[in-house]
Amino acid sequence: MSRSMRTETIEQQQLLAKYCRDGVEPTLSGVTDGRLHNYRRLVFGVIREALSSTYPLTVNLLTQKEWSVLMQEFFEHHPCQDPQVWRMPFELIEYTKNNQPSLANKYPHLLEILQFEWKEVEYYMMPDRTRPEIKTTSFWNSHWVLNQESEILSLSYPLHQKNARFISISDKGTYFCLIFRQPDTFKVKFIHLSPFFAWLLAVMKSDQVSLDELTPVITKEFGVSDQDTLKQNVEPFFNKLKTDGMIL
């Protein structure tokens, strides 16, 4: 008896879940007439809010109709796998890639925007990492101690510099962006990086070496041989990252 009841309950739950997705009203026991639509409205409201708050740049890029259709089709056809609501929007990226070729063709930077926006969510939600006890003592003579909650993103479009609506295929290129979470405020910040500063931060993160010790490599790779010029260009960048909590 109990096994039969459990089976029936599961079947009823699955029918209700399917109805919430596709709107085709099933026959369910114990349901008050005229109330079933409230379940679908409430569930879709949660999905809509989660997607819209996760992808504001995408909402701004697409037309209102395109965004509404994308949400509705994702809700109706995609079998979400993650039980955590905050992680559910991540699945929109793969769904869009596999099922929305017309949108991807119309907006060639759409998938990268979705990935870019999700990266910010990941940084907001990431577990705290242990901060190193040592600190950077000099921008010139010591290795830079960097915030471990950071990453250098390589982008094909200037998503961090330009309104998504005004980005076109002519903007396609190579761009570098630093993303990091401030250790005191836990705010996520994005900073544009030139190829030189992207290289410099990558080296500082991987090698225990000072800027002074890197000067022969910088001269060879970037043609900057004058130390005073190098100092004048790097020190303001160092000070900004130090103030923002990227350099500890």
User: Could you give the domains of the chain?
Assistant: 1-125 (no CATH), 129-248 (3.90.930.50)
Closest CA to 190 of 147, 149, 167, 160: 160
Mean pLDDT of 231-240: 94
Instruction: Average the pLDDT over 169-192 and give the result.
Output: 94
* Distances, alpha carbon 233 to alpha carbons 130, 188, 224, 236, in Å: 31, 25, 11, 7
pLDDT value at position 30?
A: 55
Backbone torsion region of residue 69, taken as left when φ is above 0, otherwise alpha when ψ lies between -120 and 50, otherwise beta = alpha
Return the ∠ at Cα 153 (arms to 147 and 155), rounded to 5°.
160
Reply yes or no on whether the pLDDT at 11 is more than 80.
Answer: no
Q: Is the per-residue pLDDT at 97 higher than 90?
A: yes
Give the largest Cα separation in the chain, rounded.
85
The letter for the amino acid at 189 is K
pTM of the model: 0.82
Give, in order, the Cα–Cα distances in Å from 68 to each of 64, 75, 186: 6, 11, 32
Q: Which two tokens stand for residue 26?
A: 């099933």
For residue 40, name the pLDDT band (cuts at 50, 70, 90): low
Place of tokens 């993303």: 179
Please give the C-alpha separations between residue 247 and each of 82, 138, 167, 173, 234, in angstroms, as whole numbers: 35, 11, 31, 28, 13
Mean pLDDT score of the chain: 86
Radius of gyration of the chain (CA): 25
pLDDT-derived band at 181, boundaries 50, 70, 90: very high
Please give the C-alpha separations between residue 81 and each of 55, 78, 98, 149, 247, in angstroms, as whole numbers. Answer: 19, 9, 16, 27, 38
Q: pLDDT digits over 42-84, tens only?
A: 777 788 889 999 999 999 999 999 999 999 889 888 777 777 8
**Beta pairing partners, 146:** 247
- φ, ψ of residue 30 in degrees (nearest 5): 75, 20
